[in-house]
């Protein structure tokens, strides 16, 4: 537990440094690097049980993060997507044939899923950072993931008795889950009050509380989804890059589900 706490403090300090550097291309590069590492962990997990996701395609797919934000216009993004998607499908099946079925349809499915699961979901972080006051708004993502994780972990360890999903994640408890939801709602309300008083927003506290409820539940499902992949692949952690936490996917599994939810709320409520 001590190692886990020390690792969390270092990780949080790095996040603060990233948040202070308000340069769009730096944001993109950081999210891209995180996505590539996460993709490596995903591919390695499935390769350990005999599958062959096409790594080159998945890494190139991470590069599409550069399309997010203001770097490329909306019209150009749509044009690239209309060209890239059919080209990807055709090339993947050509690859299967050229490899004489050493690569299967399942491997292609795992590759396509990886593009949706990792770079696509991570891209919402970049989209939020591209919004006005994005450096403040991104805290909805961070708190939605980490406040839930921390509260669920500490309360679950101390008071947790009823298992929530033992076949996927034996340590997760109902008590920890409820604590995680409360932690996110409270942290969201505090953040909204700060934004209303210091950043000229007029955010409805009840709406923010509802967003906290939804994002916390989504984040917990993100955690369980990653755990289900690990359970299927027969591994404990996706990697060892973060002592006490595992790999990037182990630490960011909640963020993958929280970021799109936060983006939708912000887009519909603040930036309609």
Q: Is the pLDDT of residue 181 over 90?
A: yes
Buried b (16+ CB within 10 A) or exposed e, 229-257: bbeebebebbbebbeebbbbbbbbbbbbb
- State residue 4's pLDDT score: 60
- State residue 62's pLDDT score: 87
pLDDT tens, position by position, 226-258: 999 999 999 989 988 776 668 889 888 999 999
pLDDT tens, position by position, 32-69: 888 999 999 999 999 999 999 998 888 988 887 767 66
Q: Is the pLDDT of residue 86 over 90?
A: no
If we measure between CA atoms, which residue out of 13, 221, 12, 254 comes closest to residue 149? 254
CA distance 155 to 184: 14
> Is 153 in a helix, a strand, or coil?
helix
pLDDT tens, position by position, 8-41: 666 666 676 667 777 778 788 888 888 999 999 9
CA distance 5 to 148: 15
Q: In Å, what is the CA distance from 75 to each residue of 122, 124, 188, 268? A: 21, 18, 34, 21
Q: What is the pTM of this model?
A: 0.88
- State residue 2's pLDDT score: 60
215 phi, psi to nearest 5 deg: -70, -35
| Average pLDDT of span 88-104 | 81
Class of residue 122 by CB neighbours under 10 A (exposed 0-12, middle 13-18, buried 19+): buried
CA distance 190 to 62: 34
Residue with tokens 């890059």: 241
Residue with tokens 């550097």: 21
Q: Is the pLDDT of residue 1 over 60?
A: no
Q: Is the pLDDT of residue 152 over 70?
A: yes
Find out whether 255 and 222 touch, Cβ atoms under 8 Å.
yes
């Amino acid at each position: 537990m001590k190692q886990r706490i020390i690792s969390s403090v270092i990780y949080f300090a790095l996040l603060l440094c990233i948040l202070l550097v308000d340069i769009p291309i730096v944001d993109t590069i950081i999210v891209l690097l995180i996505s590539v590492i996460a993709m490596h962990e995903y591919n390695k997990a499935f390769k350990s049980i005999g599958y062959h996701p096409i790594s080159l395609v998945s890494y190139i797919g991470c590069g599409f993060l550069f399309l997010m934000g203001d770097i490329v216009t909306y019209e150009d993004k749509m044009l690239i997507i209309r060209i890239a998607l059919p080209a990807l499908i055709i090339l993947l099946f050509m690859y299967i044939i050229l490899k004489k079925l050493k690569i299967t349809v399942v491997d292609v499915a795992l590759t396509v899923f990886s593009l949706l699961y990792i770079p696509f979901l991570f891209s919402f972080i970049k989209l939020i950072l591209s919004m006005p006051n994005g450096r403040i708004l991104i805290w909805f993502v961070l708190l939605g993931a980490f406040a839930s994780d921390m509260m669920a972990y500490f309360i679950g360890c101390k008071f947790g008795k009823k298992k929530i999903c033992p076949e996927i994640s034996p340590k997760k408890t109902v008590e920890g889950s409820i604590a995680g939801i409360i932690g996110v709602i409270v942290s969201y309300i505090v953040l909204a009050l700060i934004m209303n008083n210091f950043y000229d927003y007029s955010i409805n506290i009840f709406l923010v509380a509802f967003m906290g409820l939804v994002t916390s539940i989504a984040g917990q499902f993100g955690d369980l989804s990653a755990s289900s992949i690990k359970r299927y692949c027969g591994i404990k952690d996706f990697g060892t890059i973060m002592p006490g936490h595992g790999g990037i996917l182990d630490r960011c599994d909640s963020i993958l589900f929280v970021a799109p939810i936060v983006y939708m709320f912000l887009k519909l409520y603040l930036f309609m």
